[in-house]
Amino acid sequence: MIWTRRGLIKSLSRTAVVLTLEDVLKLAWPAGAQEVAQQVGARPTYDTKPRPAPKGVASPVTGTPLGYSFVDVAKQSGLTTKTIYGGEHKNRYLLETTGCGVAFYDFDHDDWLDLFLVNGTRLEGFAKGQEPVSHLFKNNRDGTFTDITAKSGMTRSGWGQGCCVGDYDNDGLNDLFVTYYGQNILYKSHGDGTFTDVTTKAGLTQSKMRWNSGCAFVDYDKDGKLDLFVANYIDFDIKTAPLPEAAGCAYKGMQVACGPPGLEGGKNILYRNNGDGTFTDVSEKAGMWGTIGTYGLSVTVADLDNDGWPDIYVANDSTAATYYQNQKDGTFKDTAIEAGIAYSPDGKPQAGMGVAVGDFNRDGLLDIVKTNFAGDTDSLYQNLGDGTFEDHTYLSGLGVNTRYLGWGVGFVDLDNDGWLDIFISNGHVYPEVDGSHLDAPYAEHKYVYRNLRNGQFEEVTNLAGNGMTDAVAARGCAFGDFDNDGDMDVVVNCVNSLPQLLRCDSTVARNWIKIRVVGKKSNRAGIGTRITVIAATAAQDKSGMGKQPLRQIDEVRSGGSYYSQNDLRIHFGLDGAKTADVELAWPSGAKDTLTGLAANKLYVIEEGGKVLKTMAMDGVKK
């Protein structure tokens, strides 16, 4: 038998052998790497020269027109507010580097996506009354947005981080949670563009300074009430944090902000919903602190092991990723190592930033894509269906890129062919790289990978329009159809710059269907609902699929990407199919099936199978 590091660790985990963190590091990292990681400011580095993907099954897609292009319409749409975050040319502390998330957030439930852009601040602060705040934009249904922040009640300023959406009190209105370095905030929505800060009332006031990062609402105990998970990055105090010049922190010979290795990692938090508008911190009891990895950044929630219970995956910076497997008794266990989703293929920790899940090969299992630091590839983990994953980064073709630093990410069907593509936003973490000897700019273009329908992807960034190739210092990005024309758009929050609103303009006529769910016994937002769409017909192609039904799955989820929130309406491309059957598996255990739904419409479906609303979506005049 030939042993890999992953196989050895997995084998040991099933015996009585207890591995210490030191043992795991010795197994997972090459000799000396664990000592290097203890130096303040050091991130693990790798020999990851691009390797070509091996030849696989012939693809029916390669060489065909892309079928869409992205245009940045932020300015003409009214998104003219700059996101402020740290120093523009030099950063003294790691706090200035992480940037902010963004949400496609339909706060008034009119099925036209509104926008929420998290904002930050600077070390030197601002004069009273001039502090930057996060911004809420209402969709005018004509391709433009109106900034309604002033009347919304969203007056909080500070080091904003991530955001996530969910109906925590089951009143039929989706609420907004925003994480901060410092005190988080829960905004209760009134459905009319106004909000109330209910953080203290809800019991979410924190007793110590925390660097809160990614977040997600999740009904982990399936009681019909949304709980709340909040990742934490570093136990950071700006009064005692080391400065680059004092600590000698460097990146490739260049002085940069210190950390995270060498700094104390934060502890992730799980709040249980009490059902009376309040939450209780159950983090330690639930097993949130018993993990190998720390330095948590982005979060995604999904039923990764197909047992009907939501699991939680956290992209960690410079350490093993965390996979909280739901034990169905109110507790979680970190099984990332055993599952094969903790490290790189050769057993090294990676500097994870963003994370998304989706069934890219349409086998009914949710896979994982994770963005990583510059000098490394992004990661693609294929779900094997037995509780484990295989790293398919190189097999899939994602290993061709190592230069840029990834943040926001999504599995998204950009051409409506029924196969999930991959979108990644990039930007370096250190502004000091501009003008340096390094061949890595601070502002970077994005990546888009087209699904070749054979287990592989093809990078098509240069074919996807100026919206993709224009360089920005991107951080969070979210996915949704803001103009209701049937293709998926992207909003990107950038550091010390205007946001990007990337409108997807399709040049091929393919069909699609959107589903928004409303829970009854389950939580009202339907978060955690698994949706299966089966197209009535599927064309013969060269991939060997034949005339098998176009079967796809996805789940309604809060949080994800990097610090961001996608459209809660779930979008499925249908290729040429004109009708589809829809199956819904609700968190409560209830199941509904609707047959023969016409394509190119939005369906709002209530638990029990009642269609509350059908909406033709013809888009807005461009």
Q: Residues 450-478: pLDDT tens digits? A: 999 999 999 999 999 999 999 999 999 99
Res 19: pLDDT:
42
Dihedral of CA 464/376/366/480: which sign?
A: negative
Neighbours of 533 (CB within 10 A): 25
The answer to whether residues 524 and 505 belong to one domain is: no
- Supply the pLDDT for residue 59: 79
Asked whether residue 37 is domain-assigned, the answer is: no
- Look at residues 479, 511, 543 and tell me which one is the last residue of a structural domain: 511
What residues have CB less than 8 Å from 595, skipping those under 6 apart?
A: 581, 582
Read off the pLDDT band of 205 (50, 70, 90).
very high
pLDDT tens readout for residues 230-244: 999 999 998 888 899
Look at 38-52, 135-149, 353-367, 579-593 and tell me which has the smallest mean pLDDT: 38-52
| Between 525 and 438, residue with greater pLDDT | 525
What string of H, E and C letters represents the secondary structure of 243-278? CHHHHCCEECCEECCCCCCCCCECCCEEEEECCCCC
* Residues above pLDDT 90, as percent of the chain: 83
pLDDT at 490: 98
Query: Is 506 in the same domain as 526?
Result: no
In this predicted model, what pLDDT tens digit does every residue of 169-186 receive, in sequence order? 999 999 999 999 999 999
User: Distance between CA 372 and CA 370 in Å, rounded?
Assistant: 7
**Cβ proximity of 323 and 335 under 8 Å:** yes
Same domain, 94 and 154: yes
Verify that 340 and 485 share a domain, yes or no.
yes
Unique residue bearing structure tokens 């999930």 = 420
The structural domain count of the chain equals: 2
- 55 domain-assigned: no
pLDDT in the model for residue 57: 62
* Within-domain flag for 2: no
* φ/ψ (deg, to 5) at 432: -65, -15
Which of 463, 484, 511 is a domain's end point?
A: 511
Confidence class of residue 576 from pLDDT cuts 50, 70 and 90? Answer: very high
Cβ atoms of 351 and 341 within 8 Å: the answer is no
Does some domain include residue 8? Answer: no
Kindly state whether residues 461 and 517 are assigned to the same domain: no
Q: What pLDDT was estimated at residue 620?
A: 77
| Dist CA 547 CA 222 (whole Å) | 37
547 and 612 within one domain: yes
With a pLDDT cut of 70, the percent of the chain lying above it is 89
- For the entire predicted model, the pTM comes to 0.92
Domain interval for residue 594: 512-616
Mean pLDDT, range 124-143, rounded to an integer: 96
Tokens matching residue 232: 């934490």
The pLDDT value given to residue 622: 53
- Any idea which of 50-64, 127-141, 430-444 has the lowest mean pLDDT? 50-64
User: Mean pLDDT lowest for which of 33-37, 125-129, 191-195, 352-356?
Assistant: 33-37
Residue 33 in domain: no
Mean per-residue pLDDT for 134-149?
Answer: 98
Residues 290, 321, single domain; the answer is yes
Least confident of 25-34, 70-79, 292-301, 539-548: 25-34
Mean pLDDT across 134-145: 98
pLDDT value of position 33? 36
* 410 lies in the same domain as 527: no
Instruction: Give the number of residues written for the chain.
Output: 622
Considering just the CA atoms, what is the radius of gyration of the chain in Å?
23
For residue 495, is pLDDT > 50? yes
Q: Are residues 560 and 496 in the same domain?
A: no
Instruction: Spell out a b/e string for 320-344, using b for 16 or more CB atoms within 10 Å of the CB, else e.
Output: bbbbbbbeeeebbebbbbbbbbbbb
d(CA 509, CA 347): 44
CATH number reported for the structural domain that contains residue 551 in this entry: 2.60.40
**What would the mean pLDDT of 328-357 be, rounded to a whole number?**
96
- 339 three-class SS: helix
Same-domain pairing of 489 and 516:
no
Work out the pLDDT band at 63, boundaries 50, 70, 90.
Answer: confident
The mean per-residue pLDDT over the stretch 428-433 comes to 94
Q: Using 50, 70 and 90 to split pLDDT, how confident is the model at 44?
A: low
**Any domain includes 45:** no
The CB-side HSE value for 522 (13 A sphere, CA atoms) comes to: 27
Q: For position 41, what pLDDT does the model report?
A: 52
pLDDT tens digits along 241-296: 889 988 899 999 899 999 899 899 999 999 999 999 999 999 999 999 999 999 99
Residue 460 and residue 527 share a domain = no
**Where does the pLDDT of residue 56 fall: very low under 50, low under 70, confident under 90, or very high at 90 and above?**
low
373 and 261 part of one domain: yes
Of 446, 479, 511, the residue at which a domain comes to its end is 511
Residue 52 covered by a domain? no
Return the CATH number at 409.
Answer: 2.130.10.10
pLDDT at res. 619: 80
180 within domain boundaries: yes
What is the sign, positive or negative, of the torsion defined by CA atoms of 198, 104, 218, 524?
positive
Asked whether residue 547 carries a pLDDT value surpassing 90, the answer given is no
Average pLDDT of span 442-451: 97
- How far is residue 337's CA from residue 343's CA, in Å, rounded to a whole number? 8
Distance CA 443, CA 446 (A): 10
Tokens of 208: 């110590």
Instruction: DSSP for 448-489, please give it.
Output: EEEE-SSS-EEE-GGGS-HHHHS-B-EEEEEEE-TT-SSS-E
CA distance 410 to 420: 9
Averaged confidence pLDDT in the chain:
90
- pLDDT number for residue 22: 39
